Amino acid sequence: MSRSVEERMADVRRLLECARVLFAARAGLAPAIAAASGLTAEGVELGFASLEREATDAELRAFVAAAGDAGRVHVVLSANVFVAPLRAMALARAAAERVTVRVSPRDPVLTRALVEEAVAAGDGAIALVDERDVARVDAGEVHVYGRDETIAAVRAGVRPGVVVRGHGSGMGVAIVSPGAQMDGAADALALDVVAFDQRGCLSPRLAVILGSAARAEVFAEALHASLRALGTRIPRGQLLADERSDACRWRDALSFAGRVWDASDHAVALAPEGSPLLVPPAGRHVTVIPVPSPEAVVSALSPIARFVVAVGTDDLAALGGMAPAHARRSVLGAMQRPPLDGPVDRRSA
Amino acid sequence: MTSLGRRGESEALHARARSMVRAFERRAAMPESFDTLAVDLARFQERTVPGYARLCAARGVDPARMVRAVDAPAVPTDAFKLAHVFAFDATDAAVTFRTSGTTLGARGTHFMRDVGTYDVAALAFGREMLARGLTLPISVLVIGPSADEAPDSSLAHMCTLFARALTQGAVARQTFFVRAGSLDVDGVRARVAVLDPAAPAVVLATSFALVHLLDALGGERLALPAGSRVMQTGGFKGKSREVAADVLRHDTALAFGVPERAVIGEYGMTELSSQFWEATLVDEGARHGVYLAPPWARVVAVDPETLAPVPDGAIGIARVEDLANVDSAFAILTQDRVRSVAGGFELLGRASGAPPRGCSIALDEMLSSAGGFT
């Protein structure tokens, strides 16, 4: 390790300072981010709340430890929420003295701004590159953020000896405890759902309600009300055609099997107890399902456990083994703001 | 409605569906219009399948005001995984078919109270499309399991049905060549070797089993008697490497020594009672990739968001209307893309969506990672 832990922490802190500068100047970036991301201006403003700007020393030590050590890291950003490049660049910078970043052509705004700010702040070790051929990376690591097929393509394309760390797509799940106060839990979950219009890998798309079907119905109705209220303050952006058609199919399937609370900018569906989990598409759609016991939660989630990056709950102490071991855990309402203590996605790369 | 009344109504609807099949076999005019029976089926299912009543209500459809088949909401195939799509109690089911995929831990279930309508419909159209011009009995080889081995597979049921019908009940001991999940390549080789060279045979196979067979043969040829035909059906479902349809057809024709036009595709689903076939054996003008519907079923390309039919020639999602699906769902919404063309519809496979925004996992990625859909 050529740089000390403290030096690496200092490099990350410098990026956090850049993030603070950009956060202060976010009004100037927001229109371009909205155009690229499909979020409304209000959605972009909410998304900026998830941009990491602070971290404790303990978090930064954990972050540096998780980053590993490489002579050089090439970051490939393919599909992310718009604030994700900060953590991706910080992780690369913690690992390496030289970092190159290939921006996502669909969402380049914050990445470009961060790199420019970092250079202006005196960090000449980070540079943007347009190179799309990972085979030109001759040493070090490639950190790739995107769909499984993108990660697989990068793995297949790199030279021997180049290490690929893949950060794939994923989803979040909410688990609502038997003691939860329904309206409060629904309000908090709605905030996690609305952020990035549910397009983040931490975004909850399923709400597992410990208890009876009647209890789950109460929660679904409360969540519908919470999403409606939040939607008036933070309107949803445009959905992609696939999201709209998937939503149509999901709504009809759950209208058949359960009940759907439908609105112009969101939908909540109640699935029958014991039914398989039907994951909705992104775009403020949530499947609520009653599950009778913690053991049944584990069983219900098992088919999708490998996709679950984050679990939010009203009762962290009671979560126990219900959440997949690799998933980040947080209270509802904070699922989109994980501490800067490592990659967002803790699944093995 | 009493259970007896429901059963009586169901039986009357089955009888009407079978009348259409019989008319087709006699090459007679249909006894009633497609829309008339479709609307009656939709009304029956709305009264007897609770989920369908909920779907109609959610879509704002009043069954009393339905006039045409397309007025009835289609049931997404996912519903077969989530709930009973059945007008009766599960205990009333004579057969229960399940989708082969275990996508995300779920298998779709199709209950049938009376499998007779499925059988007559499948046989009537299958015989016409696959065996027209052949003198029965003929030899049948199934590159798949038997119904005894896979009792919940609608495809195994259909292949067994065809084997019995085409051999006129004289099903050879060596007919089904997938046993306990393993393909018996030597068995296929041995059976082909003893076929009467003067009598055409029929091979029924899933696409992935064909790929395994062709891989195992490694270029070896198993020439079938002149005039033989091969049916291929289904996708790959992660059970073999994927091979383009034209390549698989070419390689299959080469391996069995038959013309490519004698290798025909069948499109069916566990959730249906009727099947659709390529028509290259019965229509000189037909081309591969275009599927023909029997008179009691049809495929309508619909807009994936509005679910309204798209103009002829435009690509949409397949809404399948099947009058033989009496006790479950007469209209099914699939995930397959189709396009209406002269003589039938083109099957274009699953939609490959636009690049997603964000890192939230897309449904297609989740499904492909899980090893395919149904």
Q: The complex's ipTM?
A: 0.91
Our CA angle for A167, A193, A115, nearest 5°, is: 45
Q: Are A270 and A184 in contact (CB under 8 A)?
A: no
CB contact under 8 A, B55 and A252: yes
Q: How confident is the model at residue B374 (pLDDT cuts 50, 70, 90)?
A: very low
Which residues from chain B sit within 8 angstroms of residue A168, using beta carbons?
359, 361
Q: Are A330 and A191 in contact (CB under 8 A)?
A: no
Q: How far is B300 from chain A (nearest CA, A)?
A: 16
CATH code for the structural domain at A171-331: 3.40.309.10
- pLDDT score of B103 more than 70: no
For A5-167, the fitting CATH number among 3.40.605.10, 2.30.30.170, 3.40.50.2000, 2.60.120.260 is: 3.40.605.10
Q: Which of B58, B85, B356 sits opposite A79 (nearest CB)?
A: B356
Which residue in A has a C-alpha nearest to residue B369's C-alpha? A148
Q: How far is B98 from chain A (nearest CA, A)?
A: 15
- pLDDT score of B353 more than 70: no
% of chain A residues with pLDDT over 70: 99
Q: Are B147 and B157 in contact (CB under 8 A)?
A: yes
Which residues from chain B sit within 8 angstroms of residue A107, using beta carbons?
357
Q: How confident is the model at residue A130 (pLDDT cuts 50, 70, 90)?
A: confident
CA dihedral B168, B173, B174, B177 (to 10 degrees): 90
The model's pLDDT over B143-168, given as tens digits with 9 standing for 90+, comes to: 999 999 999 999 999 999 999 999 99
Which residue in B has a C-alpha nearest to residue A247's C-alpha? B305
According to DSSP, residue B149 is labeled: T
| B361, B365, B374: best to mutate for the A interface, most A CBs within 10 A | B361
Q: How confident is the model at residue B373 (pLDDT cuts 50, 70, 90)?
A: very low
Which residues from chain B sit within 8 angstroms of residue A302, using beta carbons?
105
| B45, B315, B359: best to mutate for the A interface, most A CBs within 10 A | B359
The model's pLDDT over A28-50, given as tens digits with 9 standing for 90+, comes to: 999 999 999 999 999 999 999 99
Mean pLDDT for the stretch of residues A58-82: 94
Burial A70-80 (b: 16+ CB within 10 A, else e): bebbbbbbbbb
Which residue in B has a C-alpha nearest to residue A35's C-alpha? B357
Window from A127-136, A280-289, B19-28, B282-291 with minimum mean pLDDT: A127-136
Q: How confident is the model at residue B3 (pLDDT cuts 50, 70, 90)?
A: low
Q: Work out the burial of residue B53: count CB atoms within 10 Å of its CB; fewer than 13 is exposed, 13-18 middle, 19 or more buried.
A: middle
Q: Residue B104, by phi and psi: left (phi above 0), alpha (psi -120 to 50) or beta?
A: left
CB contact under 8 A, B358 and A199: yes
Q: Say what the pLDDT of residue B105 is.
A: 66
Window from A197-211, A288-302, B102-116, B245-259 with minimum mean pLDDT: B102-116
Mean pLDDT for the stretch of residues A22-33: 97
Q: How confident is the model at residue B208 (pLDDT cuts 50, 70, 90)?
A: confident
- If one counts every other C-beta atom within 10 angstroms of the C-beta of residue A127, the result is 12
Spatial CB neighbours of B358, under 8 Å, sequence gap ≥ 6 = A37, A79, A80, A81, A196, A197, A199, A200, A201, A203, A282
Q: How confident is the model at residue A2 (pLDDT cuts 50, 70, 90)?
A: confident
Q: Are B357 and A79 in contact (CB under 8 A)?
A: yes
Q: Which of A37, A256, A259 sits opposite B75 (nearest CB)?
A: A256
What residue ranges of chain A are covered by domains with CATH 3.40.309.10?
171-331
Instruction: Take residue B65 and report the two structure tokens written for it.
Output: 């005001």
R_g (Cα) of chain A, nearest Å: 20
CB contact under 8 A, A255 and B365: no
Mean pLDDT for the stretch of residues B275-289: 95
Which residues from chain A sit within 8 angstroms of residue B57, using beta carbons?
255
Q: Say what the pLDDT of residue B370 is.
A: 47
CB contact under 8 A, A249 and B76: yes
According to DSSP, residue A198 is labeled: G
Of the candidates B76, B81, B79, the one whose C-alpha atom is nearest the C-alpha of residue B105 is B81
